[in-house]
Amino acid sequence: LLQGDLKGAEAAFLKVTRMEPAYADGWVNVGRARLTEGNLAGAEDPLRKALQVDPGLAKTHFFLGTALKQSGRYDEALGHLRKAAALYPRDRVVRNQVGRLLFLKREYRAAIAELAQVLAVDPEDLQAHYNLMLSYQGAGDREMAKKHEALYRRFKADESAQAITGPFRRLHPHDNNERQAVHEHASALPGGRP
């Protein structure tokens, strides 16, 4: 799943669910693989099965909330994301998703309050500054929108750095290989076969 082999990950996790149907994480990970692939309808069923197995598992609520959000079912998504946030109140990713959903629902002041909690954990959180910029614009506060736009630009990754590191990566193929999301390692066996 982490290397992007979504079909392989789904097959492996489905095998886990057959071996141990009462293991909620197996169902969650089937849902995650499908969600990552963009199969929102296919992700919902295994995530709901995970909730039947363990209704208090925060990650199930997070991923189900994410799938529902992407399907445009904002109120239901918000309920699941709030359950995850209640279990992990300092989780920036969950709080950012709640703030984004509130922005999408045009509840700008509520979004601002939620995103402020993200900045209490990490004052440099890029996503929070971006969504605060949008939320303040929606609320009509241009001064605060400009402030968060400046902070967003300040903390945004410098994409020109890729050009700077290019010559080094061409001279050091092993280092370049390691920075790729999906890559192979040569085997420790004689001959170095993958």
Predicted local confidence at residue 187, as pLDDT: 60
Q: What are the residues whose beta carbons fall under 8 Å from the beta carbon of 2, sequence distance 6 or more?
A: none
Predicted local confidence at residue 181, as pLDDT: 67
> 173: part of which helix (H) or strand (E)?
helix 173-178
Predicted local confidence at residue 157, as pLDDT: 74
Residue 106 tokens, joined: 């045009």
CB atoms within 10 A of CB 89: 11
Q: What does the pLDDT average to over 115-132?
A: 96
Please report which confidence band the pLDDT of residue 3 belongs to, taking 50, 70 and 90 as the band edges.
Answer: confident
Predicted local confidence at residue 131, as pLDDT: 97
Q: In whole angstroms, how far apart are CA 118 and each of 13, 16, 70, 135, 176? A: 32, 35, 21, 14, 33
pLDDT single digits (tens) 55-110: 999 999 999 999 999 999 999 999 999 999 999 999 999 999 999 999 999 999 99
Predicted local confidence at residue 191, as pLDDT: 62
pLDDT single digits (tens) 167-185: 888 888 888 878 776 667 7
pLDDT single digits (tens) 142-172: 999 999 999 999 988 766 777 778 888 888 8
pLDDT at residue 140 is higher than 70:
yes
Predicted local confidence at residue 171, as pLDDT: 86
Predicted local confidence at residue 175, as pLDDT: 81
Predicted local confidence at residue 56, as pLDDT: 94
Predicted local confidence at residue 186, as pLDDT: 67
